[in-house]
Amino acid sequence: MADWHMLTLVGADRPGIVAGVTQAIFAAGGSLGEASMIRLGGNFTIMLMAAVEGGEARLRDALAPVAADMDLRLHIDPVAGGLHQHLIPNVQVRVTGADRAGIVAEITGALAGVGFNILELDSDVAGDPRRPVYLMHIQGYSDQPIEALEAAVAPIRASGIAVDIAPVETLIG
Amino acid sequence: MAVLDILTLPDERLRRVAEPVTIFDEALRAFIADLEETRRSGPAAVGIAATQVDVLKRIVIVDVSGRKNTPNHGYLVLINPEIVHWEGYETAREGCLSVPDYTGNVIRATRIRLTANDPWGRPLELEMEGYEARAVQHEMDHLDGTLFVDRVVSRRTDLFRRKVYQKGGQPKGG
């Protein structure tokens, strides 16, 4: 098995980006691993694990035509690790408040201060464009009790940002 | 008793629809004992379905009594279970003995009423909620060849669906 690389591709959203990128890797004999792909602010963004004999140079050659054709910016990094290394989140944090600079930095800073490990984060700006609302959902792992996380974000709540912290329990059936 | 082999994805046998149980005999009860021993032998599973051990009979076991502050009916063997009423919905994370190394968010009804038979064929009627109701729905899905991976949603999708369910149509502005 070839070593894994992390591909980052970003470009103005249009139909066919995923098909073009993945067909190019497949045609080069590559394999895909875990991926996160989402439209952000009108751009389509791809973070994708890929492995191919020949490594970065082979990936770059394979992807150059589709990147040029679809006007995608491409970045490739070798990565340690691999598949089957999932961590299961045990805490969910939901944040809502009038949009202003610093919300993410404050919340994540407070959580990092008590050792919280973010596994997934998505955020959005919604509401009336004249009165935008920031929404953020985080799932992560903490070995601290919920009370410790609550205490860490208490000063941020006092500033008018709603922060809901709840345990996530995974049912195994 | 014996610990049985658990089928794992992508084994196509997990996709078959199980048949109703019609004979409630000692052989059935011996199988249920094996199924329970199998559930207890692996990761901390709160339920198991016969389909997962390649037995196509409508039998599930659920036991969430080990979870703190959780309404429950204790150790439950549900044969030929049918959900006759459900209400509410919520999203929570699930995993499965048949899908190692993967968990995902799934929408389930929060309250259900169901009918079933016990291991002697006697009728049961149960009402349950929350975690126990989720576990029963997860296991009953196996009897129809459905896995939780067929129901996984992203939180963004979940938010959209909530609006649809609550309003009975597409979300509206204003």
Condensed to tens digits (0 to 9), the pLDDT of residues A25-62 reads 999 999 999 999 999 999 999 999 999 999 999 999 99
CB contact under 8 Å between B95 and A86, yes or no, is: no
ipTM of predicted assembly, 2 dp: 0.82
In chain B, the domains with their CATH numbers are 12-166 (3.90.45.10)
pLDDT digits (tens, 9 = 90+) for B100-154: 989 999 999 999 999 999 999 999 999 999 999 999 999 999 999 999 999 998 7
| Beta carbons of A56 and A78 less than 8 angstroms apart | yes
CA distance B161 to chain A (A): 17
What string of pLDDT tens digits covers the 173 residues of chain A? 789 999 999 999 999 999 999 999 999 999 999 999 999 999 999 999 999 999 999 999 999 999 999 999 999 999 987 888 888 999 999 999 998 999 999 999 999 999 999 999 999 999 888 999 999 999 999 999 999 999 999 999 999 899 999 999 899 99
CB contact under 8 Å between A171 and B139, yes or no, is: no
Q: Is B132 on the interface with A (CB under 8 A)?
A: no
Interface of B with A in 82-111 (CB under 8 A): 92-97, 101-103
Angle made by CA atoms A23, A24, A29, in degrees to the nearest 5: 95
CB contact under 8 Å between A173 and B44, yes or no, is: no
Q: Quick one: which of B94, B101, B100 has its CA closest to B153?
A: B94
Phi, psi torsion values for A57, nearest 5 degrees: -65, -40
Q: Is the dihedral of CA A35, A163, A117, A91 positive or negative?
A: negative
For the structural domain made of A91-167, what CATH number should be given? 3.30.70.260
Assess whether B139 carries a catalytic annotation.
yes
For the segment(s) A4-78, the CATH number from 3.30.70.260, 3.20.20.120, 3.40.50.10490, 3.40.50.1950 is 3.30.70.260
Percent residues over pLDDT 90 in chain B: 82
Domain residue extents for chain A: 4-78, 91-167
- B14: helix, coil or strand? helix
Q: Is A126 on the interface with B (CB under 8 A)?
A: no
| Beta carbons of A37 and A47 less than 8 angstroms apart | yes
CA distance A57 to chain B (A): 32
CB contact under 8 Å between A122 and B101, yes or no, is: no
Q: Which of B68, B93, B107 to mutate to test the interface with A (most CBs of A within 10 A)?
A: B93
